[in-house]
């Protein structure tokens, strides 16, 4: 990881303070002063700040139940950040493995481990995301077949990867997809002449949403490992 990130992950310094310290020669790596904050360091390197050894906080893996009307961002924008009132520390270090729209509720996975989240978000890893979908019109009889074949979304030149549709009632379905294009579920239903009126993510991979709206928990070792393949 970059040296400035390593310093931030080991201290309470902000990124700009860490850069200042590095550029002023306060940081050494394996006994040598390093003044370039972009230098790459490994966790096994001996990194010191003003003579004190730094050890980065371990990676965090968090499951959260995102409420409607919040945004998947570390800071407030048009809507409040989903981190508000959660008391999660150092939220600036976390990123979201598959964002949800402001009006979508449900399961989000948060981490500071970019290698791990890549397994969730990259389509080639085929990680399933299951959504419960409310529709404005009754679902068409051939919808499951169409989604299995793939549909062409507006503005795209390749069809969606095969997706599984399960009909709960005429206007309520679950949809399982393995990619995460912008507004994908809403656009898939628009492509077959329907409209999503409610959207909730229930599952990612083997991890099921099991906390109340606005609440969070750390993932278990087994859940973390289930995404490493
Ligand atoms: N697809 C959407 O359209 N919106 C989401 O929030 C998630 C998936």
Query: Among 142, 17, 163, 89, which Cα is nearest to 27's?
Result: 17
Q: Would 3-53 and 61-218 be classified into the same CATH topology?
A: no
C-beta of residue 5 within 8 angstroms of C-beta of residue 45: no
Residue 33 Cα to ligand 1 midpoint, Å, equals: 47
pLDDT digits (tens, 9 = 90+) for 70-114: 999 999 999 999 999 899 988 988 999 999 999 999 999 999 999
Confidence of residue 46 (pLDDT cuts 50, 70, 90): very high
Q: Are strands 164-169 and 172-177 parallel, antiparallel or unpaired?
A: antiparallel
What is the pLDDT at residue 44? Answer: 86
**CA of residue 41 to ligand 1 center, whole Å:** 36
What predicted TM-score, i.e. pTM, was given to this entire model?
Answer: 0.87
pLDDT of res. 1: 87
Report CA 124 to chain centroid distance, whole Å.
Answer: 16
Give the position, in ligand 1's atom list, of the atom nearest the Cα of 98. Answer: 7
Q: Is 27 helix (H, G, I), strand (E, B) or coil?
A: strand
Q: Please give the CATH number for the structural domain made up of 61-218.
A: 3.30.2350.10
Reduce the DSSP state of residue 120 to 3 states and report it.
helix
Tokens of 45: 């390197």
Among the listed residues 139, 126, 190, the one whose alpha carbon sits nearest the alpha carbon of residue 165: 139
CATH class of 3-53: alpha beta
The one-character DSSP state at 84 is T
Closest residue CA from atom 7 of ligand 1: 100
Q: pLDDT value at position 117?
A: 95
Q: Name the pLDDT band for 229 (thresholds 50, 70, 90).
A: confident
Task: Tell me the domain boundaries of the chain.
Answer: 3-53, 61-218
Which tens digits make up the pLDDT trace of 63-80? Answer: 999 999 999 999 999 999
């Amino acid at each position: 990881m970059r040296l400035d990130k390593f310093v931030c992950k080991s201290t309470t310094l902000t990124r700009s303070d860490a850069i200042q310290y590095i550029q002023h020669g306060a940081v050494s790596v394996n006994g040598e002063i390093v003044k370039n904050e972009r230098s790459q360091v490994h966790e096994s390197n001996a990194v010191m700040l003003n003579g004190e050894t730094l050890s980065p906080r371990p990676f965090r893996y968090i499951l959260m139940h995102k409420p409607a009307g919040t945004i998947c961002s570390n800071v407030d924008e048009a809507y409040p950040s989903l981190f508000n009132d959660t008391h999660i520390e150092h939220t600036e270090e976390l990123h979201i493995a598959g964002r949800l729209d402001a009006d979508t509720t449900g399961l989000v996975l948060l981490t500071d481990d970019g290698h791990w989240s890549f397994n969730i978000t990259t389509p080639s890893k085929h990680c399933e995301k299951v959504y419960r979908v409310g529709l404005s019109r009754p679902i068409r009889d051939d919808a499951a077949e169409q989604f299995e074949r793939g549909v062409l979304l507006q503005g795209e030149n390749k069809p969606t990867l095969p997706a599984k549709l399960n009909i709960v009632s005429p206007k309520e379905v679950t949809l399982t997809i393995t990619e995460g294009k912008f507004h994908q579920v809403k656009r898939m239903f628009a492509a077959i002449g329907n409209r999503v009126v409610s959207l909730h993510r229930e599952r990612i991979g083997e991890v099921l949403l099991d906390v109340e709206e606005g609440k969070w928990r750390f993932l278990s070792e087994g859940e973390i490992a289930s995404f490493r393949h």
